[in-house]
Structure 1
Amino acid sequence: MSVNVYMIFNGNCEEAVAYYAKVFGTEPDGLSRFGDMASEHGQDMPEEMKSRIMHANLDIHGSAVMFSDAMSDAPITIGQNINVTVISNDLNKITEEFKLLAQDGKVQMELQETFWSLGYGIVEDKYGVVWMFNHDDGRQ
Structure 2
Amino acid sequence: MSLRLTTYLVMNGNAKEAIDFYQKALDAKLLFSQSFGEMPENPEFPLPESAKSLISHAMIKIGDSDLMLSDTFPGQPHQSGNQVTICISTADPSQARQLYDALSQDGQVQMPLQDTFFSPSYGIVTDRFGITFHIYTEGKQ
How high is the TM-score relative to the length of structure 1?
A: 0.94
Match of 2:98 among 85, 96, 99: 96
| 2:87 matches 1:105 | no
User: Are the equivalent residues in 2 in contact too, given 1:31–1:57 (CA < 8 A)?
Assistant: yes
2:42 matched to which residue of 1? 40
Which deviations, in whole Å up to 9, do the C-alpha atoms of 1:98-117 show, x marking residues without a partner? 00111210000000000011
Superposed displacement of residue 31, structure 1: 1.1
1:58 matched to which residue of 2? 60
SS across alignment from 1:127: coil
2:12 matched to which residue of 1? 10
User: Are the equivalent residues in 2 in contact too, given 1:10–1:72 (CA < 8 A)?
Assistant: no
User: Are the equivalent residues in 2 in contact too, given 1:98–1:123 (CA < 8 A)?
Assistant: yes
Aligned counterparts of 1:83 and 1:42: Cα–Cα separation in 2: 25
Superposed displacement of residue 42, structure 1: 5.0
| 2:76 matches 1:81 | no
Superposed displacement of residue 79, structure 1: 2.2
Aligned counterparts of 2:18 and 2:71: Cα–Cα separation in 1: 10
Match of 2:122 among 108, 117, 120: 120
Aligned counterparts of 1:11 and 1:37: Cα–Cα separation in 2: 17
SS across alignment from 1:74: coil
| 2:21 matches 1:22 | no
Please list every run of 5 or more consecutive structure 1 residues that lacks an aligned counterpart in the other structure: none
Which deviations, in whole Å up to 9, do the C-alpha atoms of 1:28-71 show, x marking residues without a partner? 11210000011024542111210100111111121110000002
Aligned counterparts of 2:132 and 2:74: Cα–Cα separation in 1: 19
Alpha-carbon RMSD: 1.2
How high is the TM-score relative to the length of structure 2?
A: 0.93
Please list every run of 5 or more consecutive structure 2 residues that lacks an aligned counterpart in the other structure: none
> Cα–Cα, structure 1 residues 43 and 74, in superposed 2: closer, same or farther, change >3 Å?
closer
Q: Which amino acid aligns with 2:4?
A: S
Stretches of 4+ aligned residues off by more than 4 angstroms: none
Moved more, 108-117 or 55-64: 55-64
Superposed displacement of residue 74, structure 1: 1.3
Q: Which amino acid aligns with 2:88?
A: V
Aligned counterparts of 1:14 and 1:112: Cα–Cα separation in 2: 27
